[in-house]
Structure 1
């Protein structure tokens, strides 16, 4: 019917079905609403209600453009964490003891065109900064990530998507450019200052990353499930790239300062590509159809005129019922939390300390980069990519939860491998290199697959107008699991 006073068109559910044909059907259950990813009943931006026909169908995602954009979003969302933890050799070099007689000033730029800079031989014992930086970096990354994710859930409805996305991408780009420049600066005379500057950069960049990650998972919750799967698979690819770069650099470059430059320059390029992808997204018909939708939180009716008023980038929505949404997604949310808590409880802290039982020059250099980082990220990526199979289904969250709980068994399995053999007090049970490799296969594959299933299912338990908020909440559960797992890994290493 038409309200002459407000000049707005609203349609009840039956009228909407008649007009659009394909709509989402929701089944009442203890967990809320089950969404079958059919068309969600909103009209295309720029079209008047008179243009709607009974055979009106959503546009296609031509050439999988939107899917690729969300893949890129996923990769960019994990770059800050992956680049800093993978650049271990670069930071070991930066925080080692160096002769300062080569420095003529407090800030000296290193010549990139010159011959490789002689590296200081690794000291017999690690410096204090070398011992500190991994644990400090984890805290500096995870704590602000959790806090900002929680803030992002609470203020999402007050700040437009455009502001959140452009601010976060610009912030990450500026900090990564700054970090890239620092790789070419001789910091031998001010290592402690460099340490704290780097730590501050990690805090700031993860704050921006949390805003970006929460925003894109909110958007993914509004689209069909496979677009959340694209985000998760993109995150998997964002882990493979740094691992490959690390191995290639170890094999070809002897200048650790140049290695760090390559790491962070790649991050800058990826963020620029992500920036461009976001700017193009609002102009895509498929994205417009699904993301420009507005439903009344009081009546559940679709307010067609709201879809014509502004792009999804500019819209502000009413305050969502947070507790109600949480009550509908908590099973999937706890599944995500536990999956990533188990993963970060073992990787990279514990697993990176596993040494080959067959010591040689090759294993000393390549065993950890290949077994720990490359193998994990490749199998994690495979699991995320296979999650389109969606088995167990959304209707069998009990089975999904059981599989997630079974992953707790990886704690004793990896702990009984050859972890830190020089300093451990307990015996090594699995005395062959094949054991940790087999464990890693199931560990990484299950992380990618089960984590993706939970992230995909969560937003589909709620009404369409609450799916973006549900996506934000699922992202919060994810980073909370990462932070909890990082703390657990410190305890596991201490016990061993």
Structure 2
């Protein structure tokens, strides 16, 4: 039997085993009344990516906070060093804390019960968002660099909790039927749409930059607070949730994956990890946060709405489309095929975004200056990227048995975190190459 035939045979066997176990669990378990657990996973996916989305989409606020106060301008012609470096610094901060706390989560997360972890994580994120809201109205013009550092500290705190949550959520998901992965991934895709929609609405409210930012971040506090209450209620009252998590509520501790077992799983799931690596490289190397409209200075659409609508809202919609396609359509590629597809996508889209109208730039020319060109790139880049990302999670479930799934998810998350840390400098390099 050839290697490919063995792989297909194993894949078919594992799929059959998982389907039988899922079907048996569904028959024995109580019903998910009012779909509470299903909705919970949606909100967990939504809030998992929500803090990052809030930070990246509040472009007008950050440009105002780090503007050149001597001329009081925020347009791309007068961008300061802090304005230009903000998104790259945010990415580096996110990725370094991601690596550190993913590893800590795997090594020590099992010492804390899942429910306690969930409540603790979102309580800390909620508190940090409240602190951010307080600083919106504080005048930081005389200490911009210090405020820049404070924002990075808040970002690190929020993302460290998100990293631990990443380990926790896949510990939880591994105990539920495969259909419960879909609401989590959908929630993650909708987070970008939610935050960009809120940003557009606050900008359209006619409020000042600071007042609209306060309203914007306050809405984030509300969403996180609601999710925290929903977690507390569902994890204690839903019989369906308690049934599937029964091994974690009786006082037992999670079994930690050993290095030997982790390395064995890594050799099995290497292809989804490699594909995700190419996706992160393309994300870090694409200076989309610096792209401005070709009509800048000619009206509200070009100056105020172009970035939140195109770079964030449209991108979020395309991410959602791509993930929903991933739920229903499989290209049936082998291990190497998915890696090659992700690599080809990176080679195509990174140069397109680099030569779009990203500002400021001092070295490379703008070869693709038109808004319609950038819009096309955003559409196809985000649909293809989210499709590949969605399929990687389903591929992992195909490659391992149900008993190995939780540990495989943990190995996947740690390797993704390591890749993000290694590639974190790419965004800074791209900004300085422009």
Do Structure 1 and Structure 2 share a fold, with TM-score over 0.5?
A: yes
Aligned position for 1:340: 280
Whether 1:68 aligns to 2:7 is: no
Which stretches of structure 1, 4 residues or longer, exceed 6 Å deviation after superposition? 41-44
Give 1:391 shift. 0.7
d(CA) in 2 for partners of 1:337 and 1:32? 28
d(CA) in 2 for partners of 1:282 and 1:459? 28
Secondary structure of 2:174's aligned partner: helix
Alignment of 1:42-121 (within 5 A): 57-96=28-67, 120-121=72-73
d(CA) in 2 for partners of 1:473 and 1:425? 40
d(CA) in 2 for partners of 1:31 and 1:335? 22
Give 1:373 shift. 1.3
Give 1:77 shift. 0.9
Aligned position for 1:143: 96
Whether 1:237 aligns to 2:190 is: yes
RMSD: 3.2
8 Å CA contact 2:118, 2:165 repeated in 1: yes
Whether 1:204 aligns to 2:157 is: yes
Aligned position for 2:379: 441
Give 1:72 shift. 0.6
Give 1:451 shift. 0.3
Give 1:447 shift. 1.5
Aligned position for 2:237: 283
Aligned position for 1:17: none
Aligned position for 2:426: 488
TM-score (norm 2): 0.85
**Cα deviations by residue, 1:348-388 (Å, 9 ceiling, x for unpaired):** xx123334344522323322222211111110122123321
**Cα deviations by residue, 1:267-309 (Å, 9 ceiling, x for unpaired):** 21122222123221353333334333xxxxxxxxxxxxxx5xx
Whether 1:29 aligns to 2:40 is: no
Whether 1:165 aligns to 2:118 is: yes
1:483–1:446 Cα change, 3 Å: farther
d(CA) in 2 for partners of 1:189 and 1:429? 38
d(CA) in 2 for partners of 1:220 and 1:447? 23
1:77–1:492 Cα change, 3 Å: same
Aligned position for 2:404: 466
Alignment of 1:329-408 (within 5 A): 329-346=269-286, 350-359=287-296, 360-361=298-299, 362-393=301-332, 396-408=334-346
1:273 to 226, 251, 276: 226
d(CA) in 2 for partners of 1:450 and 1:141? 22
**Cα deviations by residue, 1:435-488 (Å, 9 ceiling, x for unpaired):** 222222111001211101102331442233332222223333444455555432
1:318–1:371 Cα change, 3 Å: closer
Secondary structure of 2:201's aligned partner: helix
8 Å CA contact 2:96, 2:424 repeated in 1: no
8 Å CA contact 2:271, 2:338 repeated in 1: no
**Cα deviations by residue, 1:301-344 (Å, 9 ceiling, x for unpaired):** xxxxxx5xx627x4313332222222222222222222233233
1:344–1:128 Cα change, 3 Å: closer
Larger Rg: 1
- How many residues align? The count is 420
Whether 1:38 aligns to 2:38 is: no
8 Å CA contact 2:68, 2:78 repeated in 1: no
1:134 to 81, 87, 92: 87
d(CA) in 2 for partners of 1:397 and 1:230? 26
Aligned position for 1:218: 171
Whether 1:261 aligns to 2:214 is: yes
Aligned position for 1:326: 266
8 Å CA contact 2:97, 2:159 repeated in 1: yes
Give 1:28 shift. 6.5
TM-score (norm 1): 0.75
8 Å CA contact 2:122, 2:224 repeated in 1: yes
d(CA) in 2 for partners of 1:198 and 1:358? 31
1:152 to 105, 117, 121: 105
Structure having the higher helix fraction is 2
Q: State which drifts further: 366-375 or 55-64.
A: 55-64
Give 1:39 shift. 4.5
8 Å CA contact 1:40, 1:290 repeated in 2: no
**Cα deviations by residue, 1:151-189 (Å, 9 ceiling, x for unpaired):** 212334333212322221111111111111221323344
d(CA) in 1 for partners of 2:400 and 2:51? 31
Secondary structure of 2:78's aligned partner: coil
1:483–1:342 Cα change, 3 Å: farther
